[in-house]
């Protein structure tokens, strides 16, 4: 029992005081239960089992949490994510996992996610893949930029511009090839994983950047670039979730779409 003999004796004496009866008779060589001790033994075993259950209660609750693991690509606007979570949290416990579209698809396939909001490719919609939003990629410039009122410009018009690279952009390689093809090789004032930081710096006048239309921030203006016709579709992809959670996720996805 990893106790010294005097400590154990004191424990037995305290237990007998609490129950109001002698439970154990001890002589120099033997221990035996009294009649009261024999009657108390089943109660003691039941108490021990209950204490073990209580001790493991928090651990079991942790295993049950969360009910929904939802993956989100990193390039979603905060207002839409907020609307999604606000629709879910009154109904179930939620854990959000951020990643690239390919990382989240792998996690969903492995059962590490219940659902994800990410990119949809042509022909992917089905009962478990629901389209939510479609939008173009655009050039975002400061509201004070000389080109801000043009509406649309040729790629060559941007040759002298300083750009900001959104490292999280899903079409970073395609964008680079597009401008290289048009002999536009800009200088970069910032390369960052943070969309918020990139767009704040656009508004501050540090440079211009390409982004999905939904990421337009205060102080920036969208500018179409001739031939830059990239678009993206966003959707909810369900994993093996129970029907109740599937309905919750679909309702939350509707709130996401409405926020956009």
In three-state form (DSSP H/G/I as H, E/B as E, the rest C), the secondary structure along 35-48 is HHHHHHHHHHHHHH
Taken in order 23, 29, 30, 31, the sign of the CA dihedral is positive
Instruction: Report the Cα–Cα distance between both ends of the chain, in Å, rounded.
Output: 63
Alpha-carbon distance of 190 to 206, in angstroms, equals 8
Per-residue pLDDT, 63: 58
Tell which phi-psi region holds residue 136, choosing left (phi > 0), alpha (psi between -120 and 50) or beta: beta
Q: How far apart are the C-alpha atoms of 75 and 106, rounded to whole Å?
A: 18
CATH code for the domain defined by 62-133+233-259:
3.40.190.10
Q: Is the pTM of this model over 0.85?
A: no
What sign has the CA pseudo-torsion 149, 151, 156, 162? positive
Equal CATH topology for 62-133+233-259 and 134-230? yes
Neighbours of 198 (CB within 10 A): 26
pLDDT the model gives residue 55: 74
**What is the CATH code for 134-230?**
3.40.190.290
Rounded to 5 degrees, φ, ψ at 100 are -75, 165
- Tokens 């200088």 belong to 187
Of the candidates 200, 216, 251, the one whose C-alpha atom is nearest the C-alpha of residue 68 is 251
- C-alpha angle with apex 108: 138 to 175, nearest 5 degrees? 20
pLDDT of residue 61: 55
The CATH class given to the 5-59 domain equals mainly alpha
Q: Phi then psi for 176, rounded to 5 degrees?
A: -60, -45
Query: Mean pLDDT per segment of 10 residues, for the chain of length 260 residues?
Result: 86 92 86 91 85 71 76 96 96 94 94 95 90 97 95 96 96 96 96 97 98 97 97 95 88 95
Contact 239, 111 (CB under 8 A): yes
Structure-token pair, residue 10: 């004191």
Return the closest-CA partner of residue 68 out of 216, 208, 241, 252.
241
Q: Is 184 helix (H, G, I), strand (E, B) or coil?
A: coil
* CA distance readout (Å), 160 to 157, 165, 170, 185: 8, 16, 24, 9
pLDDT at 59: 61
What are the residue ranges spanned by the domains of the chain? 5-59, 62-133+233-259, 134-230
Round to whole Å and give the CA distance between 66 and 115.
13
**Contact (Cβ atoms closer than 8 angstroms) between residue 139 and residue 222:** yes
């Amino acid at each position: 029992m990893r106790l010294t003999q005097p400590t154990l004796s004191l424990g037995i004496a305290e237990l007998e005081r609490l129950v109001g009866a002698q439970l154990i008779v001890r002589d120099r060589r033997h221990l035996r239960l009294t009649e009261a001790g024999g009657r108390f033994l089943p109660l003691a075993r039941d108490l021990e089992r209950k204490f073990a259950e209580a001790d493991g209660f928090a651990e079991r609750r942790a295993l049950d949490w969360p009910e929904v693991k939802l993956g989100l690509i990193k390039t979603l606007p905060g207002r839409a994510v907020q609307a999604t979570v606000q629709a879910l949290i009154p109904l179930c416990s939620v854990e959000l996992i951020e990643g690239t579209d390919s990382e989240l698809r792998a996690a969903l396939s492995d059962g590490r996610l219940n659902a994800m909001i990410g990119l949809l490719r042509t022909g992917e919609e089905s009962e478990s893949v629901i389209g939510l939003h479609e939008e173009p990629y655009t050039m975002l410039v400061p509201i004070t930029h000389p080109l801000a009122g043009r509406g649309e410009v040729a790629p060559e018009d941007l040759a002298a511009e300083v750009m900001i690279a959104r490292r999280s952009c899903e079409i970073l390689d395609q964008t680079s090839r597009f401008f290289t093809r048009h002999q536009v090789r800009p200088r970069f004032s910032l390369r960052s994983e943070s969309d918020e930081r990139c767009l704040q710096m656009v508004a501050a006048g540090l440079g211009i950047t390409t982004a999905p239309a939904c990421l337009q921030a205060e102080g920036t203006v969208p500018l179409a670039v001739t031939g830059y016709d990239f678009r993206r579709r966003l959707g909810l992809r369900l994993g093996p979730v129970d029907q109740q959670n599937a309905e919750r996720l679909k309702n939350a996805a509707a709130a996401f779409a409405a926020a956009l």
